Chains A and B, each alone.
Chain A
Amino acid sequence: MTRSHTHAAGRRTGASSRHGGRSAAPVPLQIPARRGPGGRRLLGVLLLVGLLASVLPWWLGTPAGSLRSTAATVTAAGRISGLIAGYLLLVQVLMMSRLPVLERWIGGEQVARWHRDVGATLLVAVLAHLSLILVGYADLRNQSILAEVGTLLGDYEDMVSAFVATGIMMLVGFSSIRGIRRALPYELWHLLHLSSYLILLLGFGHQFTHGAQLYKPGPVRTGWIALYLLVVAALLWGRVLAPLAFNLRYRLQVADVVAESPDTISIYLTGERLGRLTMLGGQYFRWRFLARGCWWQSHPFSVSAAGNGRWLRLTVKVVGAHTADLRDLEPGTRVWAAGPSGTFTAAHRVRERALLIAGGSGITPIRAMLEELPPGAALIYRARTPADVLLSRELDWLAQERDTSVWYVIGSRDDPGPRQLMSPDGLRQLVPDVARRDVYLCGPPGLVDQSVRALRRAGVPRRQIHLATFEL
């Protein structure tokens, strides 16, 4: 595991290495076809139509002018928010089903962002539903709200489980507020989040026993149940069947672990039929290494070389207990992978040329993407010290081959050089046509935030800025 070995493993070296480093014949430039926003828009429209359709039964079932009393109005609003909440819950679970179609149309990072936004909306909708119905019913029955809670819990079927579901949902929601989430251990947060499947189960009953629109058998009730079945099928497909098929097909295993720098390792994987694995540079998988102490954790890491049909490589910075364990992986260890996901790829470009900005170990997806970007790209690589620069020889080869300019910007964030460069003027001086380029950003949050601000001021439209963030 020497340094030279590491570099020999690069793809276009001309030298041979253990894992498929055949002498590199000039490989024709392969630039993936663009994936436009069509799929995302279509899905957005579909989801909006679904939202309208879920409120439609209420609209049709309520005669105009029938909401005369305050109680009736409040109850009606509660009913609408209930229908919205029921629908959003299904959307929310669908977003997390990891259905390949969703990954393809929206992409992992976007799905996660949608999930967060829909989640916040869902929580508010459920709380609105609960409080409006409580106030409305209490008014209808002329009793206090507390007494109404008692009546609902005591006399209504499925209502206890609905209240429990609301409690879980509040817990999940509040534990996902960024500040609180950071304070919690990941495992606890994850466990809480897993319990949201219970919400689906516990919240199911009361919609059909008491939902004014779902109470009676008919097309509405059937459709609602069908939606539930569809979402459960999507979950089963995306979470169980698709990964199972993927892993049985490609049978990934660790080939070697090599050191890239004192605190960074690359893990090489081999498998079967990798030539048929469609993957874009910059995408990530969720990896589960089936070794002692590691198998129960699954973490997303970018692949740090574009698909080549022979091996996969992920480059990981050792920051925690799990990544430290990865250093000791034995060749032959089986790997369970789920993916590929992500829209941080050359296929999602909107302009002809690109500017790539990497910070520290954020170079990994960008390194993979460089192989697939059209010629003429520019790369700014920020690192604190020269030792933090990873894969530099590969970058140089790629730069030469793909007509890419590379700037290494070394130093602390507060040093005058980097500060001057990462300003709107500095960026414009370095890349005069920056406003007409796609900008791909991957690195520590501080660098990303600072760069986005500078880029926006330099006139780069938001849709041209691509971020690789797993974290929300």
Chain B
Amino acid sequence: MRRALLAITGLAASTTALVVFKGSPGATQVAQNLPSAQPVNPTPQDVDPSADPPVEPVAGAPTPSVAPGTPSSPKPSKITARPAGTRTTTKAPSAPRTTTKAPQPTNRRVTGPGVDNEYGYVQVQIVVSGNRIVDAVALSLPSGGESDIHSDDVSGRYDGTGGEVVQKQSANVNTVSGATETSNSYKQSLRGAIEQAF
């Protein structure tokens, strides 16, 4: 029994150590990433003063204007993904796509290329106002099993008017832990969309 206690203690300690090892460089990386993220923000503001007015309503404006498609699109993908983990979510993008041409000319919607990875299909759409990304939506993300959680995690971090894509104004976003592949595919599609848009 003494050996069992030793083994349990040892394993618990080494698990903690592993997690801490993997977690601790994060602190330094965050610190490196943050300054690089800040200079990104001022540039579009400096370069294109005309884009300044839309900057203020960024938080609210696109949401009501693009109301039919945008806010609802991430949610269906979550809901359809949960039951039984089927891979039918790829149909979700069709809804927002139809709305692409409808809204006002000030907001352009650009859809990135679809990217296949081991877990599924990733496609990102951004909303560009002037020279600025004001919204990002993953039209499709891998689903099924654990992928649901990772996809939720990825879209939770990157998507939306307050997401990391809008904050950083570039495809240079942090990889989501446990969802490296999906994050990379997201970035690839996002990069494509940004190239098309600007």
When distances are taken between beta carbons in the complex, the residues of chain B under 8 Å from A212 are 146, 178
In contact, A65 and B30 (Cβ under 8 angstroms): yes
Say which residue of B19, B28, B82, B145 sits within 8 Å of A67 (CB atoms): B19
- Interface residues contributed by chain B, number (CB under 8 Å): 39
When distances are taken between beta carbons in the complex, the residues of chain B under 8 Å from A84 are 11, 15
Contacts A121-B11, A125-B11, A151-B82; is A76 near B178 (CB within 8 Å)? yes
**A116 is an interface residue with CB less than 8 A from chain B:** yes
In contact, B149 and A140 (Cβ under 8 angstroms): yes
A156 to B84, CA, bound (A): 6
When distances are taken between beta carbons in the complex, the residues of chain A under 8 Å from B26 are 64-68
A77 to B22, CA, bound (A): 11
A66 to B33, CA, bound (A): 13
When distances are taken between beta carbons in the complex, the residues of chain A under 8 Å from B21 are 64
Shortest Cβ distance from residue A10 to the other chain B in the assembled complex, whole angstroms: 41
In contact, A62 and B22 (Cβ under 8 angstroms): yes
**A117 is an interface residue with CB less than 8 A from chain B:** yes
Taking each of A66, A73, A212, A216, which has the highest tally of chain B beta carbons within 10 Å of its own beta carbon? A66
Shortest Cβ distance from residue B31 to the other chain A in the assembled complex, whole angstroms: 10
In contact, B178 and A66 (Cβ under 8 angstroms): yes
A390 to B25, CA, bound (A): 69
B interface, by DSSP: helix, strand, loop or mixed? helix
**A292 is an interface residue with CB less than 8 A from chain B:** no
In contact, A155 and B85 (Cβ under 8 angstroms): yes
A124 to B9, CA, bound (A): 10
16 further A-B contacts with Cβ under 8 Å, apart from A66-B180, A67-B177, A209-B145, are A62-B22, A62-B177, A63-B175, A65-B27, A67-B22, A69-B177, A80-B18, A117-B4, A119-B4, A121-B7, A121-B11, A137-B149, A141-B149, A156-B145, A212-B146, A216-B118
9 closest cross-chain pairs (CB), A and B: A65-B26, A66-B177, A120-B4, A67-B23, A117-B4, A65-B25, A65-B29, A64-B25, A72-B177
* 9 examples of A-B residue contacts, CB within 8 angstroms: A63-B180, A65-B22, A65-B23, A66-B180, A120-B4, A121-B4, A124-B8, A125-B8, A155-B83
Q: Which residues of A contact B (CB under 8 A)?
A: 55, 58-59, 61-69, 72-73, 75-77, 80-81, 84, 116-121, 124-125, 128, 137, 140-141, 151, 155-157, 209-210, 212, 215-216
Q: Which residues of B contact A (CB under 8 A)?
A: 1, 3-5, 7-8, 11-12, 15-16, 18-19, 21-30, 82-85, 118-119, 145-146, 148-149, 152-153, 175-178, 180
